Structure 1
């Protein structure tokens, strides 16, 4: 079963602000997210994939 993270937890993991995470979600740039009620959540594996893609892009 996946572990889920809040916007604040994702921001702490990526060392950025929650506002940046919200902006990325709005523009479609950030990791995949979904809503449960009013909460926006992120699967940990999607965060890991987002980090891996960013690393691969920076190495290219």
Structure 2
């Protein structure tokens, strides 16, 4: 079995390319993985994530939408 596939109930499915790990998400946002952990545990930002067992994953699509929603044209916070 390769790294690019998972085995479930006798069916081999390709790994979901939209889901990225905490390190890659942190790199995209230019923050540390620890910062993402704090954001998740405190609810500081409403950044959606997926939890599968102990693994935390972020959707590239959702992450980009979240970033777009934080785009500002002025310095105002509201």
Higher relative contact order (CA 8 A, sep 6+): 1
Moved over 3 A (4+): none
| TM-score, with structure 2 as normaliser | 0.65
Structure 2: gaps (5+ residues): 1-15
Instruction: Flag structure 1 segments of 5+ consecutive residues without an equivalent.
Output: none
Aligned residues: 58
Q: Which has the higher strand share?
A: 2
Higher helix share: 1
TM-score normalised by the chain length of structure 1: 0.81
Q: Which structure has the larger Rg?
A: 2
